[in-house]
Amino acid sequence: MSGFQGLFIPGPTNMPFAVRQAMDIPLEDQRAPDFPQFSLPLFQDLKKAFKTEKGQVFIFPSSGTGGWEAAITNTLSPNDKVLIAVFGQFSHLWADLCQRKGLNVDIMQVEWGEGFPLELAAQKLEADKKHEIKAVLVCHNETTTGVTSDVAGVRKVLNAANHPAMLMVDGISSIASIDFRMDEWGVDVAVAGSQKGFMLPTGLAIVAVSQKALEAHKTAKLPRCFFDFADMIRTNKDGFFPYTPATTLMRGLRASLDMLFAEGLENVFARHNRLAEGVRKGVAAWGLSLCAKEPKWHSDTVSAILIPKGFNSDDLVKIAYYRYKMSLGVGLNKIAGRAFRIGHLGSFNEIMALQALAGVEMALMDVGVPIEAGSGVAAAQQHFRKSAPQIQLAKVA
Ligand SMILES: *Cc1c(COP(=O)(O)O)cnc(C)c1O
């Protein structure tokens, strides 16, 4: 194939050359005496990506799902009550994992397209005078629907109710792309994965844990082995691991963190907002709607776009894949066939966003959705011309 198969899904994301090169190295000895000189600073720098100084970060060789499992099995006991909102496939799967692990799961079913229900959660926490709820679980960025929830708001609700429950966050498609502040928001466990904002292959679950959660870990009785924090704590302090770490991915992670810090985290967030806003302008110009029902829930990492009635979004995704060599995200579960997704996170820029919009336009027209060719691209171009960083040109004499 000429050129590249376009990757416009919300994960895995596009891998920068610098990250790929950092991993194109001979395999190394994970027990080498100088390995800690690499691993200890990596742990320290990861904390910056979560904006935590007080917390501890663990790196598991696993996909993000393992991070969910690590979060709950290390901090909770069988039959403990947890409060979670389900508004998409990922929040649904985390709730399902909690049930299968033997927790008492109080699920707040929320309409897909909306975010975490702060008022309902506030009522439940207020009513829970005996403090039976041990943890509140929040999917920061629901990748199914392109909805970002207000984690700081959940912290406020917990504080207002004077409730001691831990706050756990799935930040797999937000951390390192959308502002996330572990310490400031009082998050006790935050889960990230390597293949989204960190621009790496799948294979690392990165879990940041507060001192309060580490304290809970001491008495938590859910069975655990592979994901046990205790084994990590014992070995990580000297820069080593209880079993073979994914050293290659960790070398890539070093490069990815270096890139994120060189750009500056706040600039990374601003870039994601700019690109997402351009995509949203394009969607509006087509006359289509986002799955996210209100602007306050708009995700800066992924847009889920509803296809008009009478059309099948799976057809569109298939056409885009075969005819135009681009991968889009399909609609999952409740919105299968009704929505498609454009991932615009990680190593992503204006021209890539325009490519995605141009390809989607062709595929939309191919399935028969009446849009005007170039309308979405033009709307995004205008936004990018206004918002892309200015450069200083030398004066011509
Ligand atoms: C991708 C994703 C997951 C699942 O992670 P895996 O790496 O596929 O196990 C969980 N939650 C969210 C919000 C995600 O975007």
CA of 143 to the centre of ligand 1 (A): 8
pLDDT for 294-307, tens place per residue? 999 999 999 999 99
pLDDT for 163-180, tens place per residue? 999 999 999 999 999 999
For the chain, the domains span 6-11+265-387, 17-262
pLDDT beyond 80 at 397: no
- Given the CA of residue 139, which atom of ligand 1 is nearest to it? 13
CA distance 226 to 247: 17
**Amino acid 257: pLDDT:** 98
Ligand 1 pocket test: which of 172, 173, 341 has the largest number of ligand atoms within 8 Å of its C-beta? 172
Whether ligand 1 lies within 6 angstroms of the CB of 173 is answered as yes
Please, which pLDDT band fits residue 159 given cuts at 50, 70 and 90? very high
Nearest CA to ligand 1 atom 6: 64
CA of 10 to the centre of ligand 1 (A): 9
- Given the CA of residue 202, which atom of ligand 1 is nearest to it? 7
pLDDT for 340-374, tens place per residue? 999 999 999 999 999 999 999 999 999 999 999 99
**Amino acid 182: pLDDT:** 98
Ligand 1 pocket test: which of 9, 13, 60, 65 has the largest number of ligand atoms within 8 Å of its C-beta? 65
Which of these CATH numbers, 3.40.50.300, 3.40.630.10, 3.30.70.100, 3.90.1150.10, describes 6-11+265-387? Answer: 3.90.1150.10
Whether ligand 1 lies within 6 angstroms of the CB of 64 is answered as yes
CATH number given to 17-262: 3.40.640.10
Token pair belonging to 156: 């406020």
pLDDT above 90 covers a percentage of the chain that reads 98
φ, ψ at 278 (rounded to 5°): -60, -45
pLDDT for 10-53, tens place per residue? 999 999 999 999 999 999 999 999 999 999 999 999 999 999 99
Whether ligand 1 lies within 6 angstroms of the CB of 285 is answered as no
| The residue to which tokens 């924090």 are assigned | 229
- Given the CA of residue 10, which atom of ligand 1 is nearest to it? 15
Nearest CA to ligand 1 atom 5: 64
- Given the CA of residue 173, which atom of ligand 1 is nearest to it? 15
| The residue to which tokens 């959940």 are assigned | 154
